[in-house]
Amino acid sequence: MMTANRVLRHSWISCVLFSLGGCGGMQKTAYSPGGSAHSSSPVAARGDRVATSAGPSHVSIDRGGGGGYIAEPVPDRPGLGTSWGETVSAPISFSAFHRSATTPWAEVALHYNDAHGVQAHASYLGSHPAPLEVFTSDRSLSVALVDEAGRTLEGYTAGGRALVIGNDGARYKIVVRNGTTARFEVVASVDGLDVIDGQVADPNRRGYIVEPHDVLVIDGFRTSDDAVAAFRFGKVADSYAAQTSGDRNVGIVGLAIFSERGAVWSSAELGRRDSADPFPNRGYATPPR
């Protein structure tokens, strides 16, 4: 039997999202000062929650001979990552959410980079620029990255990839639009880090709730129940990921979207109703055995 999740609720009326993602079940979560959440089961959150800032890590090498450790420079990588931005007010509340399954109902992913990087990636995949908004398979939900003014960022689609163009230093938000009568839980990650606690992302962690016919806006790494650290494009070496867990997964925004337990009138279900056949077997009688 599925248990109930304690979910974070965003106090805003609207919210935003971009990327491929999933959803999960319910759990109680406890936070320790300066640490990550410890949970016995997944919890959902409506609104953002971000881990506290951590200082940059340094690579050191022992040269031997009693000389101790010296700093070893890490080669710069081209393109953009997401840095830890300024504090933004983003209060949340909590609500129960029961996941219908332990696996995500849908997953969405958005790759981002600067203009040169996206063009190079698109050329590599043989694509051309086009207006960009990513939809789930039945087009019930959409995901996008938007700028500070709420304008959808441009990009390319190619080879099953969504490539979004960002600008160094610019702030962005993740926007998810729900076109259904059902609620969904959205577990989001940026550069491989969970946007609520800043730890290595896992779809079984708690996420944000997007209400029926509503928009979810995730605008930073959550630092408390009331604020987030804004998402800002920046150099890979300055990214939050590079300063904490490593830069292996920079340049991607991911969403795991979970449906809520219970029957809902989704577009897929309505399509099945509409195409129901009163006489599904139109063959002829067969002789008895």
Nearest to 213 by CA among 163, 279, 140: 140
The residue ranges of every structural domain in the chain are 5-52+78-274
Give the per-residue pLDDT at 144.
Answer: 93
How far apart CA 18 and CA 29 sit, in angstroms, is 26
Both structure tokens of 207? 């996420």
Of 42, 41, 46, residue with least CA distance to 12: 46
Res 276: pLDDT = 82
CB 71 within 8 A of CB 57: no
Q: Mean pLDDT of all residues in the chain?
A: 73
202-216: per-residue pLDDT in tens?
Answer: 999 999 999 999 999
The mean pLDDT value for 116-127 works out to 70
Highest average pLDDT, of 5-9, 95-99, 228-232, comes from: 228-232
Distance from C-alpha of 168 to C-alpha of 234, rounded to nearest angstrom: 5
